[in-house]
Chains A and B, each alone.
Chain A
């Protein structure tokens, strides 16, 4: 393999990795604040792409479509928490997880009613020829994807580290009861986590739609891949989620480069199963003990 080919694979690995990182962050925020896996995370990704496609088709400027899609999906994320999960607060974790599966069915089916069953295309954010870098072709949209993901991850990390809201989120991830005792409104923190997860998923979906097209049923597979990335980085740790996302993207690219492209989609899933079985706490994660 030549240097140019290697660079090409790295570039596509980074682009996919950025998407997985955003998805993994969405899973991680919800998991850290509630301890559940949100099976509707993939649908947030789908909504991002579909809402932008619908907006563009209706003649709304692209930038406004992206911002609108992210905001709307964030609102839907909050609604999922408020309407479906909060009323079942007293249920066990598994019941809550199945509720998120029910929500994902509703969102997916709703998107099919609204936008139809066909694939939708989205124009690239900026027109232009692919850039030639040392013999490899880099699509400008790939730079958008990576740039937006890095910006979102940086902003989120800053919020998590340096703001009062972030402090409340971290407190909730340690113990809801203790957070409540010091006056944190845990219900609002959980809703915020779902809203942010919606925004992150939608941003990922909107950014990558020009590259891959989008359809009402693209959520499930991307959700699985994002979860694999989150797990790879150790669930519940934002930095781990970002690292896990990029690691998974590069792993996938490597598999395509060195093995074959036929089973490309299975790579992430095999990684998912392997990590679940071998190290459920993730490659860099803390050990999750179990209680009786």
Chain B
């Protein structure tokens, strides 16, 4: 009964999301809500990777960027049809995820965090320096609108529907994955790796596959972003976004999709409070925008302290991490 009630609620929420363009006609508001859809796709991938499989990534903005640049290059510079460039972008991002995951198999916890952060920073340099493909520091403009044959999606409402349509499919697919065998394997990995291995989970394969899937989703989000905005530049794909995404998953809680999605939606909408909520003064809106990073940072610190006192976000590792323990 409870499960059916929940299903009905989810279906209602999805229908409401898709009905938004019928009610909202403000182009700007639709654009902001489209950003939330784009970020939802990345967050779902990161929730699978970190919230379920326990693998940290502070490099997801880089995969997002790889997808965006790949699709913009394939469709814009090479004039490939949009569906082909989208598929190409997802493939390139998945490959990048696989390439990062393979050597990182031996890395755990904070070493993996540092490695993925380093990867993000390397990609930031590449996005600026590989001018022939990326257009350098000034970015790439004139990314074509998504089109299928003669049908071109160019109004904010149709772009909104495209992004949210894909996002809802991704969320539904992820919800299915975590309920079934792959999801159990991910959770086992998070609980105890040797234990997972002993119960017949191929630890290395699950890690690499989850990483590649997660990167592919970020790449898909990047491709959709590039074609809906029409302009991309390196500053969008930096460490700040990676950390914001990670914070969403940390605050949203372990083994949850709804939690990280909600946290991310709040973080994404906050800077636009002035445009979305009637009656917010200009000064108040600017102040909110200015203090978003502080709010995110403070929330992360406070929530983790509270969680640690109530028995943990990560698996309790006995006492404080003792340098003596890692020797």
Interface residues of A (CB under 8 A from B): 31-37, 39, 84, 87-99, 101-106, 108-110, 113, 172-178, 220-221, 224, 227-228, 236, 262-263, 265-266, 269-270, 272-273, 276-277, 280, 286, 288-292
Contact = CB atoms under 8 A, between A and B. Distances in A.
B165 interface: no
B190 to A, nearest CB: 11
A88 B308 contact: yes
B237 to A, nearest CB: 14
Interface in B161-210: 192, 194
B314 A103 contact: no
A102 B321 contact: no
A265 B123 CA distance: 11
Interface residues of B, number: 58
Contact of B297 (A89, A103, A262, A277): A103
Contact of A173 (B125, B126, B320, B323): B323
Contacts of B106: 277, 280
A34 B298 contact: no
Contact of A105 (B297, B314, B316, B321): B297
A273 B323 contact: no
Given A98-B246, A102-B304, A288 B312 contact: no
B297 A102 contact: yes
A261 to B, nearest CB: 10
A9 B108 CA distance: 36
B309 A87 contact: yes
Contacts of A36: 110, 321
B118 to A, nearest CB: 5
In the A-B complex, the 9 residue pairs with the closest CB atoms: A105-B297, A91-B308, A102-B300, A92-B314, A93-B321, A175-B324, A35-B321, A102-B301, A88-B308
B313 interface: yes
A285 to B, nearest CB: 11
B15 interface: no
Contacts of B115: 272-273, 276-277
A94 B320 contact: no
Contact of B104 (A92, A105, A173, A277): A277
B83 interface: no
21 contacts: A33-B323, A34-B321, A35-B323, A37-B110, A90-B319, A90-B320, A91-B305, A92-B313, A92-B315, A93-B110, A94-B110, A102-B301, A105-B300, A106-B297, A113-B290, A220-B239, A266-B122, A276-B104, A280-B106, A290-B326, A292-B194
Contacts, number: 187
Nearest to B104: A277
B307 A91 contact: yes
Contacts of B229: none
Nearest to A87: B305
Contacts of B86: none
Contact of A110 (B294, B307, B308, B309): B294
Given A91-B305, A99-B301, A220-B121, 17 more contacts: A32-B323, A84-B305, A90-B312, A91-B314, A91-B316, A92-B312, A93-B317, A94-B113, A95-B312, A99-B300, A101-B58, A106-B298, A108-B293, A175-B322, A224-B118, A273-B119, A280-B111
Nearest to B117: A224
A222 to B, nearest CB: 11
Nearest to B103: A277
A24 B225 CA distance: 38
A269 B297 contact: no
A101 B125 contact: no
Nearest to A276: B115
Given A98-B300, A272-B115, A92 B325 contact: no
A284 B313 CA distance: 34
B6 interface: no
B239 A109 contact: no
B314 A224 contact: no
Nearest to A104: B297
Among B246, B309, B327, the most chain A Cβ lie within 10 Å of the Cβ of B327
A266 B126 contact: yes
Interface in B53-67: 56, 58
B326 A288 contact: yes
A70 B43 CA distance: 39
